[in-house]
A and B are shown apart, each in its own frame.
Chain A
Amino acid sequence: MTIILNGDRHEVAGTRESISVSELLEQLSIDARRVAVEHNLVVLRRAAFDETVVREGDQIEIVNFVGGG
């Protein structure tokens, strides 16, 4: 399954046709408490990470805080 992750094509590991946002973050070794996720232009509440299903071609943005003014 290929998704668009942070603007780039990304091959999701495994052979399943869908994956939850929580599973995707785990696969990427990203601490869910430190990021925000947008799924097909909809910003997700953290509580929705488990139930939100990512499929082929979906657009995912994962952001965090960096230094800024």
Chain B
Amino acid sequence: MDTFTIAGKTFTSRLIVGTGKYSSPSVMVKAHDASGAEMITVAVRRVNISDRSKESLLDYIDTSKYFILPNTAGCYTADEAVRTARLGREAGLSNWVKLEVIGDEKTLFPDNEALIEATRILVREDFVVLPYTNDDPVACRKLEDAGAAAVMPLGAPIGSGLGIQNPNNIRIIREFSRVPVIVDAGVGTASDAALAMELGADAVLMNTAIAGAQNPVAMAEAMNLAVRAGRLAYLSGRIPRKMYANASSPVEGLVGR
């Protein structure tokens, strides 16, 4: 079976999905089910002290079925991200973290320098670090050297739905990396996810493309199929691109010649 492994843990599904922005918990649960994902991301935030009526997100997630990946979304310094990762480890069930250190509010592009620093610190503390990074092969190499268990280059800005903006960089990152490459962020629709997989990505991580779709459950199924189709196409070895036509039907035996 075609599987991929991060830090010794093997996954069958190459789609990783988020838990944010859903209209209701029940839609989220159905979408997760339709996505076929085995790993889902969550954020770490302060408990609302004054209003304790809200149910916990974990009430809706079957942790025997899904592997929980806490993120450090919204952190702007290495220090904040490290603190958040440590809290996520204690709140959760593993030492894995989707590491985000944001460098710019408008684009949510990562701060590479701080990201590498935070990766080093967390690797020393025995975290399995999956950093969300720019689609920059050099940054990815540095993260790998810092001990990242996978690299997660963006396809486009978070939540933008613009699709893979720099396909060749994703391809180069895959070629250079010795750890799994997960395209994280920027997917808008199924073809974007398929393209990421056709470029050789080991997996795709998305949230808004599913949660924000008019029909999130159907879109989750579309993404499930797209990731599988893209992976299969990648493994199948596509034909080379040619500049001109090459007839599919025989050129001999034509009637009237």
Contacts and interface: CB of A to CB of B under 8 A. Distances in A.
Contacts of B43: 65-69
Interface residues of B, number: 37
B73 A65 contact: no
B20 A63 contact: no
A68 B47 contact: no
Interface string B204-217: 01111000000000
Interface string A1-31: 0000111101000000000000000001111
Contact of B87 (A63, A67, A69): A63
B71 A69 contact: yes
A38 B54 CA distance: 21
B49 interface: yes
Interface string B9-36: 0000000001111100000100000000
Interface size class of A (residues with CB under 8 A): 20 to 34
B42 A68 contact: yes
Given A28-B52, A34-B56, A34-B91, A67 B18 contact: yes
Contacts of B88: 36, 65
Interface of A: 5-8, 10, 28-31, 34-38, 41, 43-46, 61-69
13 contacts: A10-B49, A29-B52, A36-B87, A38-B87, A43-B90, A44-B90, A62-B46, A63-B44, A63-B45, A63-B46, A68-B20, A69-B21, A69-B41
Interface of B: 18-22, 28, 41-47, 49, 52, 56-58, 68, 70-71, 73, 83, 86-92, 158-159, 185, 205-208
